[in-house]
Amino acid sequence: MLDTFLEALYNKVFVNILIKRSSTDVYIEICSKKGAIDHFQKSFDTTILSQHLLEFVNYYTKESPYFYISFLDISADQGALPTCDKNKLGFYGDISTSEYKCHDEKWTYYTSKTDLYLMEKRYAKIGVDFIFSPYSILSNFFKDKIPTTLAMYVLVQDSFISLSIFDNGELLYAQQLDMETIDEDGDEILAAMEEEVSLEIEQSINFEDFEDFEDDVLKDLDEFGDIKDLDSIENIDEFCNIEDLDFMEDLDEFSKDKYLDEEIVNLAEELASATEVPYETSFNEDYQRFSLIQTSLSHFYNNKKYDSKFVETVYIADGVGVSSDLKNYLEEEMFLNVYLQQIDINMKVCELAQGELV
């Protein structure tokens, strides 16, 4: 009774924290009994609880004893499984070191116990009330489509992609995809391409030709003799007019060889440039996302653990602002029907936190 009376006196403050690759976004919403009355948002260039971030949060939470701190789970060791039966969870993988929870008595999402502990310890000064799975965000955001369609559903975050496949409300498959993993693969591929180009350059230039040319020039110089033996300038002029001099022919050949070598060098530079283009385009972030999605879908089709069904449609909740390239890659390379929608992840985390209090 007293709690109800106090709640009527104070507003509720919802603090929602989204940790990204190199920054942290904080979204704060203040609610009365009638609904949201104000909101504030700020980004910090840190991934830890800095003093500035702490002060920002405390400024709003000190106004009410009813405040709730929520996070989006950013563990790389999380996912979702197509069952709530505890005896069947192990069939899909080892989750002995994970916390897990059944969702709507249909499927289970899980995450690393260690990562949960570290987050709670790292943010102990402000407290941690809720840590939401990205799969909860996905199922809530596409709640009008998941129950009635067979499709892939993707949540694009700064460092991760949360991918799931539902068939009329039944989870068939899910995987948490880490952008950092493919960055390392991209570096390895680039290094291999550079090594290949270097080898092609070495094979294109025949260094034996240079050695043969040097021998010929030295031989001609020996036959010509010492320049001091020339009696006069006339002799020199006379020499310069000799058209059939072998040495001049060699010089002409050398000139051609030099031109040829320049062409080889130019070709080598073009080859080197060619390796830069795929890296700048093929390994940009949208291509990385496409590659991860393509590989994950292939895993779904080829792994007998999952009830594989042919996927024709993908719904993407874009939380970072992807370019049209990602949509084009998926349509042109995988022949998928792609529907892309913007999502404010922090606002969706806030909605879930409010739903927990109902």
Mean residue pLDDT across the chain: 82
Count the Cβ atoms, other than its own, within 10 Å of residue 355. 10
Write the pLDDT tens digit of every residue in 89-101: 999 999 999 999 9
- Which pLDDT value is given to residue 208? 55
Q: Is the per-residue pLDDT at 217 higher than 70?
A: no
Pure H helices in the chain: 2-9, 51-61, 86-92, 113-122, 134-141, 179-204, 207-224, 233-240, 246-282, 285-302, 324-334, 345-356
**Six-digit token pair at 131?**
């840590």
**Six-digit token pair at 289?**
């996302």
- Can you give the length of the chain in residues? 358
Instruction: Report whether 278 contacts 193 (CB < 8 A).
Output: yes
- φ and ψ of 178, to 5 deg: -100, 120
Write the pLDDT tens digit of every residue in 53-73: 999 999 999 999 999 999 999
Write out the H or E segment, with its range, that includes residue 308: none
Whole-angstrom distance, CA of residue 285 vs CA of residue 179: 8
Instruction: Report whether 298 contacts 163 (CB < 8 A).
Output: no
Secondary structure percentages of the chain, helix, strand, coil, to 5: 50, 25, 25
Highest-confidence range of 184-193, 205-214, 222-231, by mean pLDDT? Answer: 205-214
Can you tell me whether residue 289 is helix, strand or coil? helix
Whole-angstrom distance, CA of residue 284 vs CA of residue 324: 13
Residue with tokens 């709670």: 120
Mean pLDDT of 43-51: 97
DSSP-assigned letter for residue 76? S
Q: Which of 19, 79, 24 is nearest to 53 (CA)?
A: 24
Crossing angle (nearest 10°) for helices 207-224 and 246-282: 160
Q: Is the per-residue pLDDT at 303 higher than 70?
A: yes
- Which pLDDT value is given to residue 7? 74
Q: Is the per-residue pLDDT at 205 higher than 70?
A: no
Strand partners, 338: 314
**Six-digit token pair at 166?**
């539902």
Write the pLDDT tens digit of every residue in 80-139: 999 999 999 999 999 999 999 999 999 999 999 999 999 999 999 999 999 999 999 999
Instruction: Report whether 68 contacts 15 (CB < 8 A).
Output: yes
Whole-angstrom distance, CA of residue 11 vs CA of residue 7: 7
DSSP-assigned letter for residue 47? S
Using CA atoms of 212, 218, 220, 221 in order, give the dihedral in degrees to the nearest 10. Answer: 160
Strand partners, 152: 165, 314
